[in-house]
Amino acid sequence: MKILSVIGARPQFIKCAPLSRELRKSHEDILVHTGQHYDHNMSDVFFKELGIPEPDYNLGIGSATQGEQTGKMLTAIEKLLINEGPDMVLVYGDTNSTIAGSLAASKLHIPVAHVEAGLRSFDRTMPEEINRIVTDHVSDLLFCPTETAVTNLGNEGITEGVHNVGDVMMDALQYNIKIAGDKSTILDDLGLSHQDFMIATVHRASNTDSIENLSSIVKAFCSVDTNIVFPVHPRTEKYLRQYGLWDKLSEHVNVISPVGYLDMLKLMSSSRKILTDSGGVQKEAYMLGVPCITMRDNTEWVETVDDGWNILVGADCGMIVDAIDGFKGAGVKGNVFGSGDACDKICTILKESS
């Protein structure tokens, strides 16, 4: 089968690495990078260290408002699909690259496969929630990472082509965790020891685009007695500077540039607790058995909260501080994200459907 995969943002490179490797064993996989993320440490680093093939096309769309960015992608992907004529378009997750790929394909009557289908935060102020809903409703094959995702789709009347295959991020983590242990020198580079710090990531629009929320998060980080390593997403850096918060970060908050996946795995697995508003990082914390403090009011990854490994604290300074000091994380973990064979299962289903 001729598959055209659309990727464009950091988490999609990580998800695509194990699946593309598996896909190429039995299918033609044309890789399209929309260019949504373009800095070296938001894009190239993942292709290099995870062995993702050079994209066949880079659309170079770059940053813009929601509509402009999605519109430019839609136009460019449509042209490409007409020229390439793939049998199927594969999209990942919930970014603007996802919705552009799925919309362009479905309007040309090209079947769409959605990896990480069925997730819902039930918060339509998130651009990602709109991307998820639209993509799921135009997809023909829906690869769910969890049973909750299957239920969410059922509640919206989507039952055909739905498969719970587990999470491709589990495959990525299992494949890379030992490599990260062997190769990453990040702890030495930053002068850190195992468990003497907490890692933090922040990039969700609800936190970065609100001076109240971002100030509250910064205040919380600065007022605790714990070393915090903070690889700063470019969106967050922009707003930290714009709001005059950049220079207010205390010395124990170690601000660094975004890191590659291997360094990230090393940092997360050595961290006492993880502070984040990222979707992927919440899951990885659970997979690694590290307590997670999520600076959001809701999550798509409800199992991590239900099992006691994740706590939702919003952007509330007091709640963040309390969780940094007191949240422990539970002792039991279920097998909610599968066992690391999601890519294998996806390829089998794709083969059967061709």
What residues line the site for ligand UDP (CB under 6 A)?
Answer: 10-11, 14, 201, 203, 231, 258-261, 264, 278-281, 284
Burial of residue 310 (number of CB atoms within 10 Å: 0-12, 13-18, 19+)? buried
Is 128 a binder of ligand UD1 (CB under 6 A)? yes
Is 37 a binder of ligand UD1 (CB under 6 A)? yes
Q: Which is nearer to ligand UD1, 266 or 296 (CB)?
A: 296
The option from ligand UD1, ligand UDP, none interacting with 148 (CB < 5 to 8 A, set by class) reads none
The option from ligand UDP, ligand UD1, none interacting with 152 (CB < 5 to 8 A, set by class) reads none
33 catalytic, yes or no?
no
- From CA 193, how far away is CA 115, in angstroms rounded? 36
The option from ligand UDP, ligand UD1, none interacting with 234 (CB < 5 to 8 A, set by class) reads ligand UD1
Paired with 2 in beta bridges are 28
Residue 269, sorted as left (phi over 0), alpha (psi -120 to 50) or beta, turns out to be: alpha
- From CA 94, how far away is CA 98, in angstroms rounded? 6
- From CA 227, how far away is CA 194, in angstroms rounded? 12
Give min distance, CB of 68 to ligand UD1, in A. Answer: 10
Give min distance, CB of 62 to ligand UDP, in A. Answer: 17
The H or E element spanning position 215 is helix 211-223
Q: Which is nearer to ligand UD1, 279 or 340 (CB)?
A: 279
Q: Which is nearer to ligand UD1, 68 or 196 (CB)?
A: 68
Q: Which of 27, 33, 114, 203 is catalytic?
A: 203
Is 203 a binder of ligand UD1 (CB under 6 A)? yes
- From CA 11, how far away is CA 9, in angstroms rounded? 6
Q: Which is nearer to ligand UD1, 277 or 303 (CB)?
A: 277
Proportion of the chain in helix, strand, coil states, percent, rounded to 5: 50, 15, 35
Contact with ligand UD1 (CB under 6 A): which of 28, 39, 156, 189? 39
Q: Segment 59-78, which members bind ligand UD1 (CB under 6 A)?
A: 63
The two tokens of residue 49 are 């260290």
The option from ligand UD1, ligand UDP, none interacting with 137 (CB < 5 to 8 A, set by class) reads none
Q: How far is CA 12 from CA 93, 177, 298, in A?
A: 7, 18, 22
Paired with 7 in beta bridges are 33
Give min distance, CB of 269 to ligand UD1, in A. Answer: 20
Give min distance, CB of 224 to ligand UD1, in A. Answer: 25
> 268-291 in b/e burial notation, b at 16+ Cβ within 10 A?
bbbbebbbbbbbbbbbbbbbbebb
Give min distance, CB of 203 to ligand UD1, in A. Answer: 5
Which DSSP string do the residues of 113-146 spell out, in sequence order? EEETTT---S-TTSHHHHHHHHHHHH-SEEEESS
Contact with ligand UD1 (CB under 6 A): which of 96, 139, 148, 276? 96
Q: Which of the stretches 152-160, 231-239, 244-252, 291-299 binds ligand UD1 when contact is defined by CB under 6 A? A: 231-239
Nearest to 142 by CA among 180, 92, 192, 186: 92
Is 22 a binder of ligand UD1 (CB under 6 A)? no
The option from ligand UDP, ligand UD1, none interacting with 201 (CB < 5 to 8 A, set by class) reads ligand UDP
Q: Which is nearer to ligand UDP, 10 or 114 (CB)?
A: 10
The H or E element spanning position 267 is helix 261-270
The catalytic residue positions are 203
- Judged by the rule CB under 6 A, the positions of this chain that interact with ligand UD1 are 9-11, 36-39, 42, 63, 94-96, 127-128, 203, 234-235, 238
